Structure 1
Amino acid sequence: MTHLVILGAGRVGGAMARDLAPDFDVTVADRSEPALARMREAGIAARAANLADPAQVKTAVAEADLAVGAVPGFMGFATAKAILEAGKPLVDISFFDEDCFELDALAKAKNLTAIVDCGVAPGCGNLILGDLSRQWDRIDAFECLVGGLPVVRTWPYEYKAGFSPIDVIEEYTRPARYVKGGRTVTMPALSEPELIDFGGLGTLESFNTDGLRSLIRSFPEIPDMKEKTLRYPGHIEKMRILRETGFFRKSPIPVGDGQVVPLDLATALLFPLWQMEEGDEDFTVMRVAVEGEKGGQRMRRELNLLDRYDPATRTTSMARTTGYTCTAAVRLLAAGGYARKGISPPERVGQEPGAWDFIREELAKRGVVFREG
């Protein structure tokens, strides 16, 4: 495995390309010429491609040994399908809405390994749970709290998007599922807020988002599982007001003599305010807690992450934590540390002996450190 094609040259895709370029032959594909120019300035091969077109995706990955997906979520499923149809293995972070296992038969028919949802969240929490499920006799509870936030809190939203802003809005509109008492519960996103204190940061608010995803299917025996997103206090109410007013609707409404899609208007107004500018500092906070039993003894494991913007490389924390988890998985595949065919969410990778240790060590080399709670 020498030639990698990264689909998407955005903030996270670019960070992954720079991380992998010293060890692999890397090409980045995107339709944004400014983004491609930044890659070329870093000495990385870049090619123009409309990644919304499956035919162009297949052309882009034609000479690749492995493809890395870093497109916005709404494009992710079609892009992953095109990659697999082209006969290429895949590591993906696009966080698409569709059921990833719909691609399992295709991947197996092509004898391909495809790791999906391989970022910080979903991603690292899944890996940790998969690793512990292999070691413990039983797991009773899993909780993942995670958020990426700007260091400087700027009114009115006190938020900047560390990844595709349209994917942030998807988090606020997609129904959220969690497991309680062995039953899957579906709630609106942004529901059940809680205030939680974090050392060195203060108080953040948590709320339901659909972060469990494949874990519900992978671990039907675990009676309690939840994932919640973290923001500065007050953010939930602002987003609920926008959502319930209708600003996130995708169907057009009459305005004057024409038609307007509310989501288009909302994104045109919100995204400039949420845009991270060069040099804007951010942090990622994550707490994963797992409870269960091993050898008749009660077990509890807590891992905490607090990662910050890297001024030396001018890389955002969200790009570091998401991108470097993905590049660690790429290196795991390249080293022969994982070879299961078909669709693999991160928890399946974590069940491979040594896989989480490998990824955790790769993250630590880059300053992304999980500490025991």
Structure 2
Amino acid sequence: MSPLKITIFGAGNIGSALAVALAADPTFDVEVADGSEQALDRLRGLGCAAKTHALGREEEIHAVLAGRDVAVGAVPETALAQVAAGAARAGVHYLDFSAATARTRGLLEPLARERAVFNGCGVSPGIIGNIACNLLDTFSPVTDLTVRVGAIPRYPTNRLGYGQIWNVDGLIDEYTRPSAAIRDGKVVELTPLEDYERLSIDGVAYEGFVTSGGIEDLAIFSDSMPKNVTVKTLRYPGHLDYMRFLLDDLGLRHRRDMLKSLLYNGLPVIEDDVLLLVVTARGCRGRQPTERTICHRFSPNAACSPFNALTSVAAGYAATLLSMLQAGTIGPRGFVAHHRIDTDRLLASRFIRPLLGAPGDVRPVAG
């Protein structure tokens, strides 16, 4: 079997993490393209075997993809359409880490008739949607589904109990933009930072509340038709009060640059994080209310990745999907419904298994 030739556009954390994961496997021929020589130097400094390509300012994406099999968009969402258009013109498989927008889907629809297209292949969207859909398949009918994602420091050192784990701009978006949800079978938007809950996982206290950007494509739940779907973030207790103080009491909700500067300069970069994925389904068996919760905990593993848990799991999920494409487990064309793949099979992947801890014991906390 000849190697699958993959070009990753973007040498940031997620692009570099995916390159590190794939380049160690001889079944992949990996190239990373970026316009920043500094970013490529950081990747080379990791000892990654991937080839690098310094993108010229006027260089066309489709030209870089000549002779390649897969284009991966690991770039900011504002640049994603350019990568999608280049992949479509080059006629190669395509994967990204963001929910498909109307623009990118329009660019990719002709490509999907001939090649495999993967959208939203990180953590959220990504593996969390897969876990939720697999739970719904085994627990039906469902009236209420609550999906929680928490990437937090293993050892909190400040009152926020938080740090720079992914992206400060993305964090601000989570806390200030409406959250897609389902209420009484209809798609609605919820105000962020609401629907507060407290819970305990293996004896450690956490709080959950609504944020945006988790699972934007709620259509993935259409087969099971839960009456209500809510997507939340998990944090250590007290985090929400401090964020409301910053956003509302100090008015930084309307002064984004100041809020970004404050968080960027005040929060430490977190390398030793914990990623918690907690999904609860509620329904009835006859007249008896029934509930089932699944909790997966991920931690960094320096033996397989120099990145934190959130980045490593996102890259591991994408790498697993690409390995399935290479093996023929996933078909060679169409928009890939990766949320329908068996979760146990994904978690057993060589890219994800080393990051996975024991299932957590989740208990609600009254009050």
Task: State whether structure 2 residue 31 is matched by structure 1 residue 14.
Answer: no
Deviates more, 1:223-232 or 1:119-128: 119-128
Residue identity (%): 25
Are 1:190 and 1:209, in contact at CA under 8 Å, matched by a contact in 2?
A: no
User: C-alpha root-mean-square deviation of aligned residues, in Å?
Assistant: 3.3
Three-state SS of the structure 1 residue aligned to 2:149 is: strand
Shift of the alpha carbon at 1:242?
A: 4.2
Q: How far does residue 175 in structure 1 lie from its aligned partner after superposition?
A: 1.0
- The corresponding residue for 1:159 is 162
Report SS of the residue matched to 1:192.
coil
Assess, with a 3 A threshold, how the Cα gap between structure 1 residues 189 and 82 changes in structure 2: closer, same or farther. Answer: farther
**1:44-63: CA deviation from partner (whole Å, max 9, x where unpaired):** 2112237xx89643343333
2:88 counterpart (84, 93, 97): 84
For residue 314 of structure 1, what is the aligned residue in structure 2? 306
Paired residue secondary structure (1:203): strand
Partner of 1:268: 261
Q: What is the CA distance between 1:229 and its match in structure 2?
A: 0.8
Query: Compared with structure 1, are the counterparts of its residues 16 and 243 closer, same or farther at alpha carbon in structure 2 (3 Å cutoff)?
Result: same
1:366 is paired with a residue whose SS is helix
Give the distance between the partners of 1:29 and 1:88, measured in 2 at CA.
Answer: 16
Residue among 133, 147, 152 paired with 2:150: 147
CA distance in structure 1 between the aligned counterparts of 2:163 and 2:101, rounded to whole angstroms:
22
For 2:259 and 2:102, how far apart are their aligned partners in 1? 24
Q: What is residue 53 of structure 2 aligned with on the other side?
A: 47
Aligned counterpart for 2:179 among listed residues 163, 176, 179:
176
- What pairs with 1:97-176 in structure 2 (closer than 5 Å)? 101-103=105-107, 105-109=109-113, 111-131=114-134, 138-155=141-158, 157-176=160-179
Instruction: Give structure 2 stretches of 5+ with no counterpart.
Output: 362-367
Q: CA–CA distance in 2 between the matches of 1:132 and 1:155? A: 35
Match of 1:219, as an amino acid? S
d(CA) in 2 for partners of 1:149 and 1:2? 34
Residue 255 of structure 1 corresponds to none
Q: Is the partner of 2:348 in helix, strand or coil?
A: helix
Q: Secondary structure at the match of 1:153?
A: coil
Residue in 2 aligned with 1:61?
A: 65
Provide the rounded CA distance (Å) in 1 between the counterparts of 2:284 and 2:325: 31
CA displacement 1:231-267 (0-9 Å, x = unmatched): 2233334434444466455xxxxxxxxxxxx434433
Give me the TM-score of the superposition, normalised by structure 2.
0.81
Q: Does 1:366 align with 2:357?
A: no
Q: Does 1:335 align with 2:327?
A: yes
Cross-structure match for 1:252: none
- Structure 1 residue 329: deviation in Å? 1.0
Distance 1:303 1:107, change over 3 A: farther
What secondary structure does 1:3 align onto?
A: strand
Tell me the CA shift for residue 99 of structure 1.
7.1
Checking the alignment, whether the CA contact within 8 Å between 1:307 and 1:317 is kept in structure 2 is: yes
TM-score normalized with structure 1 length: 0.80
Q: Following the alignment from structure 1 to structure 2, what is the Cα–Cα distance between the partners of residues 138 and 104?
A: 34
1:115 CA drift (Å): 1.2
Cα distance change of structure 1 residues 5 and 202 upon mapping to structure 2, 3 Å threshold: same
Separation of aligned partners in 1, 2:207 and 2:137: 32
**Residue 141 of structure 1: CA displacement?**
3.2
Measure, in 2, the Cα distance between the counterparts of 1:106 and 1:243. 43
Which string of whole-angstrom CA distances, capped at 9 and with x for unpartnered residues, describes residues 134-181 of structure 1? 666644432211110122323354322322322222212221121122
Q: Which stretches in structure 1 are left out of the alignment for 5+ residues? A: 250-261
Find the residue that maps to 1:204 and give its secondary structure.
strand
Deviations 1:257-279 (A, max 9, x none): xxxxx4344333422334526xx
Q: Give the CA deviation at 1:216.
A: 3.7
Structure 1 counterpart of 2:275, from 284, 291, 295: 284
Distance in 2 separating the partners of 1:54 and 1:135: 51
Tell me, yes or no, if the aligned pair for 1:196 and 1:206 is still in contact at 8 Å: no
Distance 1:272 1:3, change over 3 A: farther
CA-CA distance at 1:328 after TM superposition = 0.8
Q: Distance in 2 between matches of 1:54 and 1:134?
A: 48
Contact 2:215 2:231 in 1 (8 A): yes
